[in-house]
Structure formats: C-alpha cells, structure tokens
Amino acid sequence: MSPKRFLQDWAVPAGIGLAMAATLLLLFPQLRGGAPAPATDEWQGPVSYASAVRRAAPAVVNIYTRTPLANHPNSNNPLFRMLLERMNPLERQRLESNVGSGVVVGDDGYILTNHHVVNGVDEILVKLADGREAQAQLVGSDADFDLAVLKVDLPNLTSIKVGEPEKVQVGDVVLAIGNPFGVGQTVTQGIISATGERYLDLSSSGTGSYLQNFLQTDAAVNPGNSGGALVDAHGRLLGINTEIVSRTGYSGGIGFAIPANIAFKVMQDIIEYGRVVPGWLGIEASAVTPQLARAFRLPSTNGVIITAIYNQGPAHQAGLKPGDVITHIDGQPINDGKRGIATMATLRPGDTVSITFMRNGVANTVEATVSEKPKAQRRS
C-alpha cells in the first residue's frame, strides 16, 4: 500500500492527528509534493552535485584554436624549418590545435574566455556541450585582466546563471568545469581556499598586474581548463578559471579564477568601447592598518583610508577628503583594502554610487558619479 493511500484509508484520532501527520511526512517526504529533496549524508550535506552540473555545464564550451605551422613560435628554429621543408604542401598547411574553455554568458552568443587562450591565433572553433560547433569571432581582449570576449552565431544557446563572488567565503564548495588536455568537458570539485589574492606573479600566462584579485581553489584545474567556469554548489558562475601554480605544469591544488563581477565589467567595456575602461573615483586609498586605526581613532580596521584625492575628480566633487575612511560602496561593506580595491575596479564610467565613509568618528554617505580617468590630474 502506498503512503498516500495509507493516509487516505486510515482514520487518525483527532488528538494525535497532527503529530502522526508530521511523522509520516518525515518518513515519506514524497507526500509533500513537488521535487524530492536531494540525497544527503548523515551530516545533512549533499552527496551529489549533479543538479549544479546540469545547470552550468550546457553553458561551458570547448575552445580549439588553430595556427598554421609556418607561424609556429619555433618557425625560426633550423630543425623546425627542415621538418617543414620535408613536408608536402598539404602537410605544411596542417594546423596545430591548442585547447581551452569558455563560458556562454548571453543568449546573443557572447562567450567569455582567457586572453592567453586566443591571443595571436588565426582561427577559433567553439564546441558546445550539445555537440554543435561554430567558428567564433574575437570581439576583443585585454591582457592585463587576461580576459577575452568571443561571439558565435548559433540559436538556442544556454547561458550561465551568475552567482555572487563578492560573498564567497573560504570553505565554500565549488566546481571547475572545462576542457582539460582537450579530453572534452569534465568537472572537478573542491573548495574556495583563499580570496582576494592580489600579490601573485602570474605573468607567464600573459596576465598583467592591473588587477589580480583572484578566487583561489583546490578544485583540479589543468591546461585546457583556462577560460572555463568556476561555479558554486548551485551551478552559478563565480569566476573564470585562468591560472594554476604548479612546479609540474599540472594541477597542484592551487588554481585561480577571475571573479565573475570583474569579468562581466571587462566584457561590457570590450563590447561597448572596444577596450577596458576602468571606473575612476579620483582617489588613492590604502588598507586601514591597526596603526592607522589607532591614529585616526577608528573602531576597526574595516574599510580603506583615502590618502590622496584628485582635484575636481568624482570623489572631490562629492565632498570627500584625505583621511576619510570608506566603509561601504553601494551598500556593500568594504571589509579590507583588497575588497575595497576590487569593488572599485568593477565601477564603470557614468555609474552613480553611494559612498559611506567615516570622518572624525561620524558616518556619512554621499553620492559620486564615476568617470574615466583623465590622462593628467593633479591631486591634493
């Protein structure tokens, strides 16, 4: 007899009806209706991330880039030239393939990947999770952020849902989805092992020093994962996988992803302006150290302290002054200097933002209109 038929056929005394019903709902959760609860272990944690993968994987693509062997980096090597001379004409036109990954971020065909995946190549081929393939157009890229924007002309694309990378905490479960070693789409699982990692020398991949505010993970990231998705346990995009630190060149448990909010800002700039246009508030700021907190009689080290301000810049026109401590931007707390610099990096010219700051122990809030940094400015 089914549990539902059991409830219908068995008359429960009124005095114990609610308790009995509650017990039966715990024993037979299917009586509640709707989707069944995910399987859990004895600690009530999920034992499968299949639903997250189903949501995110269709938006992750494999990228194959091709360059004629005549343009190979070793083309000036005498031995390499000798090999080319021994090839017949068709063989000399053979294309060398490199692999990477990308993420579909809009139904209109835009794809995010890494600059180093597509830099200097002659042809870009995108393969979707459903097996379709298409030539991709390079809309633009930026070496400093190590990000590139592609576009494909295909119908019925599945774009990824975006999470909240600014709220990520160390210990959060994440999944890395990509095309390692060209074997096809794979998924690896790990946790966020650090956030706000800015002082890293990742120049080997072409990553510049303008912004290095990565999410660090121990989810396996290998060659070919570059440009793929780092997602949360619900399948929402947290970042674009871009680099690993390893003595062997393979995953050593230290991988880095560019936060999605920064990646989307870069993408919007490239689409709209053809280049990255950093938002500018017209300030120079530093993290609040314990020494500065004592000197300015601040209640904590949260926030960034304005060390210099540019005349007639957005912050100056809003009434901010050197010595003010910015604690929130658009209501988002600036818990430390790294978070503050990362938040300001996502601002775009024309945005109006509210800035909460401390001055002489009193909290104030002003609005400032973000602009593009002029070529020359005088600070005070």
Alpha carbon distance 331, 134 (integer Å)? 42
In this structure, the number of other CB atoms found within 10 A of the CB of residue 318 comes to 17
Instruction: Write down the catalytic residue from 141, 142, 146, 371.
Output: 146
Among residues 345, 340, 348, the alpha carbon closest in space to that of 368 is found at: 348
Pairwise CA distance, residues 124 & 141, whole Å: 14
232 is catalytic: no
Which run of H or E residues covers position 263? helix 260-273
Q: Known catalytic residue: 146? A: yes
CA–CA separation, 198 and 227 (whole Å): 19
Q: Give, to the nearest 10 degrees, the angle between helix 337-345 and helix 260-273.
A: 30
Angle at 261 between CA 270 and CA 46, to 5 degrees: 135
Quote the CA–CA distance of 111 and 133 in Å, as a whole number. Answer: 14
Q: Which residue out of 115, 116, 316, 328 is catalytically annotated?
A: 116
Name the residues annotated as catalytic: 116, 146, 226
